[in-house]
Amino acid sequence: MNKVVLGLVLGAILGAVDGMSAWFTPAVRTQIVGIVIGSTFKGIIAGILIGVFARKVQSLALGIVFGLGVGLLLAFIVAQMQHGFYFQIMLPGGMVGLIVGYATQRYGHGPQPQRP
């Protein structure tokens, strides 16, 4: 699978799972639909960014660091909007970014070499 598409799919799935886990937090259960949509969207954005990075840079270590950074940054923005829950939002967000960063470097296919 293409690195960008892999990042997008993985980001969307993990983002959705991330959002659905909010159901177990009674304080925000009423907003679950919005949280799932937002979290999935966040995952997609992170996945595309990490996928594009993986296409440009072939380095497992840099891919993981970039993924972690993007995941943490997007999660931080969400936590700022929520005015709290930094740990509960940023830790899973960072891990999602890290997993997508690893997966896009390890499994995704790079661009086909151009014919002369």
What residues line the site for other proteins (CB under 8 A)?
Answer: 14, 17, 21, 24-26, 88, 91-92, 95-96, 98-99, 102-103, 106-107
Q: How far is the CB of 72 from other proteins (least distance, A)?
A: 14
Nearer to other proteins, 38 or 101 (CB): 101
Other CB atoms closer than 10 Å to residue 10's CB: what's the count?
26
Residue entry with tokens 């979290």? 39
Nearer to other proteins, 102 or 114 (CB): 102
Residue 107 structure tokens: 């499994």
Q: How far is the CB of 4 from other proteins (least distance, A)?
A: 18
- How far is the C-alpha of 16 from the C-alpha of 66, rounded, in Å? 21
8 A C-beta contact, residue 68 and residue 100: no
Q: How far is the CB of 114 from other proteins (least distance, A)?
A: 25
